[in-house]
Amino acid sequence: MGLVRREVTRLASAIQFLTLLPVGWMSAKEEMSLSELRASVRWYPLVGALLGGCLYLVHGLLVLRTSDAVATMVGLTLAILLTGGIHVDGLMDTFDAIGSRRPREQALAIMRDSRIGAIGALVAMLFLLLQAFSAVQLGRLSPLLFVAVWSCSRWSLVLSMQFGPSARGREGLGALFAGQIRRRDLFGSGVICAVLVALTAPPLLAGAMLLWTVAVAWGLTRWFCRRFGGMTGDTYGATLLLTETTLYLFVLIWLGRGGVV
């Protein structure tokens, strides 16, 4: 397989993993190996940028005929629907397990339970409301920053995969990625994210957003590893959504204090 074709296949794998978009036509016909699946993480920031770009474009079109709030909410809803809401599900399962205050093994079992608990539902509702209000405010100030926020939040997944081990040994989604990311793929994802953020955010803010993403991803991974002994697919989803929400707040605080350059 040629270099270009291989990277296109990896990009398609990243899109399929993080969204519901039908991009099978971009992939090679042969089945992708685990090493290639892990290599696809380098494109996660670009997938985030595509989703953030959808939000930006929808906002730009609708704001001509509606309010900023309506335009942002429609764009945000579309972007979340394109992901299938898998990260929201991960957030709910993670906080159901944390809120149970049970020992590690029992908490992991609760996380696997498909039923939604009260704590998980409440946390998801609060964070989605916080994200919605923050996104509306950002849409009024600088909607292009949606691209930077969504790119960084997907990069946080790659960082989290590097920062922590799997909670279930060789079982589950965590085992596929936790501690299995090659340095060149980690570096590649960082370069892609940095370029995308530099293109869509002022210089100082761009650097601050990248540092914030690293700090939040590291802090959340350490917390989840202490609680569960490692990372799972659900905690990855929670990490992404929490990073995304805090990025909205971070950017708004930055813009509010006049730190736009």
Residues 13-53 have pLDDT tens digits of 899 999 998 876 565 555 667 888 888 999 999 999 999 99
Query: What's the rounded mean pLDDT across residues 164-178?
Result: 82
Per the model's pLDDT, the better-predicted residue between 4 and 216 turns out to be 216
Q: How far is CA 41 from CA 96, 105, 205, in A?
A: 28, 29, 24
pLDDT for 25 = 59
- For residue 9, the Cα-to-chain-centroid distance in whole angstroms is 20
By CB atoms closer than 10 A (0-12, 13-18, 19+), residue 37 is middle
pLDDT for 257 = 58
Residue 261 in this model has a pLDDT that exceeds 50: no
pLDDT for 180 = 86
Query: What's the rounded mean pLDDT across residues 151-158?
Result: 97
Give the list of residues 6+ apart from residue 96 with CB closer than 8 angstroms, or none: 110, 111, 113, 116, 117, 119, 120
pLDDT for 170 = 77
Percent of the chain whose pLDDT exceeds 90 = 64
Residue 260 in this model has a pLDDT that exceeds 50: no
pLDDT for 259 = 47
pLDDT (tens digit, 9 = 90+) per residue, 59-113? Answer: 999 999 999 899 999 999 999 999 988 889 999 999 999 988 888 889 888 888 8
pLDDT (tens digit, 9 = 90+) per residue, 177-227? Answer: 888 899 999 999 999 999 999 999 999 999 999 999 999 999 999 999 999
Distance of alpha carbon 238 from alpha carbon 234, whole angstroms: 6
pLDDT for 26 = 60
pLDDT for 7 = 86
Residue 258 in this model has a pLDDT that exceeds 60: no
Among candidate residues 148, 150, 132, 152, the one with its CA nearest the CA of residue 68: 132
